[in-house]
Amino acid sequence: MEVRLLSRKEVESLQIPVTEVMDVVEKGFALKGKDAMEMPAKIGIHPRKDCFIHAMPCFVGGGADVAGIKWVSGYPLNQAKGLPYITGVMCLNDPETGFVKVIMDANWITAWRTGAATGVCARHMADPDSRVLAVIGLGVQGRTNAAALAAALPKVEKVKVYDKHAEQVPRFLELVKEDLKGIEVLPCATVEETVSEADVVVTCTPIVNDPERFVRSEWLKKDMLAVAVDYDSAFEADVMSGASAFVCDDLNQYLWTQEQGHYFQQGYPTEEQILGDMGHLCAGLRKASTKGRRGAVLMGIASHDVLTANLIHEKALTRGLGTVVDI
């Protein structure tokens, strides 16, 4: 069986704009809303405290006809070792034969499809006149989420940023120079200062089993969008449970995860408090107001991965990238 291998360097060399990733992520959400995919809740193992290794398979139909799986790990302790928090590999299969056709590094995919999902959420739930963003957690996800939000909300003038690890700030500022060109980026000393005037707040901190939630509802504007890409690690529960509209990226996955008893406990929204998921919004089945306090938890779903990987694969073939091996 011949398989194409794509390295991280090759994937990055394609320089795919975040807007293109947002478009395929939004397409995936819409197809999910139309039940045009098979996507079980992600399963995982946890070899160390606060660490995970997840399997994320998905088949996307509805004209896309893409199948694959991501094998991804998240190890917060890696950061102290100078290693990436998130690592993984992505595999695409031929839906007709089941044969593996490409294996690629998944780090770029995970980073940018996560930011893209936040951008798509902002397209549907943020005030289009938003001027101020807040980003908490300034690692790779902080950068991609900031870039996607700026692309989704062209009237943004200021991005306020915070990380409890001060050494992350200068690195972040260097990374976002091109992503946030023409936008003021303001490092803040406290979480309260960071979020107090923001129209959209996104938290991108490590996912932990016993969170010390630190973003308080009284610090937030009455009209704003709160987005968590770090499960329930940052926002206090009443930010989400008290929202005028609360959504997640995959209702079944959110509820299944909540039922396991590790995440979304102690006051996070239960089924009757959830407007729907992003599939409902992108398919036009439900609509969220862009006024009042809105909340979203975006856990990351496999359709994002396979559709972004398919985009990469198509562009790589056009460029002649990758190494074909017989395995």
Per-residue pLDDT tens digits for 157-187: 999 999 999 999 999 999 999 999 999 999 9
Can you tell me the distance from the alpha carbon of 88 to that of 74, in angstroms, rounded to the nearest whole number?
9
* Residue 228, SS3 per DSSP: strand
pLDDT at 209: 85
In this prediction the pTM is 0.95
Instruction: Please write the tens of the pLDDT for every residue from 213-271.
Output: 999 999 999 999 999 999 999 999 999 999 999 999 999 999 999 999 989 999 999 99
H helices present in 163-236, as ranges: 168-175, 191-195
Query: What does the domain layout of the chain look like in residue ranges?
Result: 2-109+303-326, 115-301
Task: Say which residue the tokens 């915070």 belong to.
Answer: 162
pLDDT at 311: 98
- The phi-psi region of residue 322 (left if phi > 0; otherwise alpha if psi is between -120 and 50; otherwise beta) is left
Pairing of strands 245-248, 276-277: parallel
Mean pLDDT of 201-215: 94
Domain 115-301's class? alpha beta
Confidence band for 197, pLDDT divided at 50, 70 and 90: very high
What does residue 139 show for φ and ψ, rounded to 5 degrees? -85, -155
Rounded to 10 degrees, the C-alpha dihedral 188/190/192/193 comes to -30
Residue 79 predicted with pLDDT over 90: no
Q: Kindly state the tokens that stand for 19.
A: 């807007």
Instruction: Please write the tens of the pLDDT for every residue from 101-112.
Output: 999 999 999 999
On the CB side of 6, CA atoms within 13 Å amount to 31
How many other CB atoms sit within 10 Å of the CB of residue 127?
A: 18
pLDDT at 41: 83
Let me know if domain 2-109+303-326 sits in CATH 1.10.3080.10. Answer: no
Can you tell me the distance from the alpha carbon of 299 to that of 160, in angstroms, rounded to the nearest whole number?
23
Q: Is 2-109+303-326's fold the same as 115-301's?
A: no
Mean pLDDT of 208-217: 93
Percentage of the residues of the chain whose pLDDT score is greater than 90: 94
What does residue 133 show for φ and ψ, rounded to 5 degrees? -110, 155
Can you tell me the distance from the alpha carbon of 137 to that of 234, in angstroms, rounded to the nearest whole number?
10
Residues 6+ apart with CB under 8 A from 232: 211, 213, 263, 264, 265, 268, 297
CA angle 94, 96, 99 (to 5 degrees): 40
Residue 67 predicted with pLDDT over 90: yes
- Per DSSP, the residues of 246-283 read EEES-HHHHHHHHHTTSSS-TT---GGG--EEHHHHHT
